[in-house]
Copies of this chain bind each other. A is one copy, B any other.
Amino acid sequence: MNDLTATGMAAKAASRTLAILPTARKNEALHAIAAELEAQQELILAQNSLDVADGRTKGLSDSLLDRLLLTPARLAALAADTHKVATLPDPVGAELESRMLSNGMRLSRRRIPIGVLGVIYEARPNVTIDIAALSLKAGNAAILRGGSETLRSNRALVQAIQTALRQVNLPAASVQLIDDPDRALVTALLRLDKYVDMIIPRGGAGLHQLCKEQSTIPVITGGIGICHLFVDESADLERAVDIIENSKVQRPSVCNALDTLLVHTAVAPQFLLMIAQRMAQCGVELRASPAAYELLRQTPARVLPAGADDFDQEWLSLVMGVHLVADVQEAIAFIQAHTTEHTESILTNNLANANAFVNALSSAALFVNASTRFTDGGQFGLGAEVAVSTQKLHARGPMGLEELTTYKWIGYGDGHIRP
């Protein structure tokens, strides 16, 4: 029996300590956590082995088992990442603005932590360390709920974190794990609005939908990217092939990978032949709408006619939709009808078309003559990535440390009353 009220209360109390902690103390805690990960390596790897063995028995796929696996090298990398978070600038405490009102009151807006984060994720033990470190650096307490496949690994990791927190005289409840695999506790966490200020789901569309449906706490939805790339008439076609390969093939399982290729009809006969050859070399299977299919079936590409829902799919694999459009306006309309507002790219040398694309679409990230793969906290220079938001409130696109903060207004008066 896992009493989430007690967990929530402890997290809220810890968050009040963390909120006013000097940067040096938070960094001290991060270094202590990194050291403890190395010190408890044997225990952590032993527990992880049990998770991996169980996963194998349960028939988890090789790729899932690989995501679950910790090794001495991976644990050392996690410790190094934690040391690195200590070197990032502290987002808390900055005055975002400060001005004198006409009545003489000094009014400022100060950046403060969000408070308590609830993080729900799947079978990746590295998320446990990542999110704990980033949450702590931004002055937040975190309640973590990992996948049941990693329960023993996560217990060992959070135990190391809490040992380190105690060493530096910080509340162990700054990072807590819901260590009961009962799924009802996910729903319970989503309704713990008395104590939890923000929910961050890191997982597939089903998890995001569950959070949207069930949560009474504000949720950062995102991470689902049906990403489009439009090859305009004036695009440099040679480079377009390289950009599309990068967008689609470099890491097909992530949210910024390309899903749907749109091609201007004027260049389609020439370009589809070029892209078909490259995609065939890369093992990418195409799903083409009728006009594109007619052209592609005469190429070396593996191609199927696109099904009814094929343009509303985040493929997460070596599959890509292909559709022809008459101009940039048709490309925009097609994207608006199918996008999850994650990332879209236009390849063009036409200034008016580049501007039309970038102005009309409201996706979290829009690129001109670049790969969709750039939507990433590291690539954007944020220093870290907590999640990628595709919703309209709070943060959009890659979220770094600043996006784990909010602000308060502070007014210094001198006996001021409102007229």
Contacts and interface: CB of A to CB of B under 8 A. Distances in A.
A375 B411 CA distance: 9
B367 A411 contact: yes
A334 interface: no
B218 A370 contact: no
Contact of A20 (B197, B359, B375, B397): B359
Interface stretch (A130-138, A306-314, A401-409): A401-409
A73 B114 CA distance: 44
Contact of A409 (B198, B375, B411, B416): B375
B373 A410 contact: no
Contact of A107 (B216, B371, B380): B380
Given A413-B370, A415-B369, A418-B374, A216 B216 contact: no
A67 interface: no
A178 interface: no
Interface residues of A, number: 69
Given A212-B193, A412-B369, A379 B418 contact: yes
B198 A416 contact: no
A239 B415 contact: yes
A250 interface: yes
Interface in A358-372: 358-371
B411 A114 contact: no
Interface of A: 16, 19-20, 99, 101-102, 105, 107, 112-115, 193, 197-198, 212-213, 216, 218-220, 236, 239, 242-243, 246, 250, 336, 354, 358-371, 373-376, 379-381, 391-394, 396-397, 406-418
Given A371-B417, A394-B394, 18 more contacts: A20-B359, A99-B381, A101-B379, A105-B370, A114-B392, A236-B415, A242-B415, A243-B416, A362-B408, A364-B409, A366-B409, A366-B410, A367-B411, A367-B412, A367-B413, A371-B416, A371-B418, A374-B416
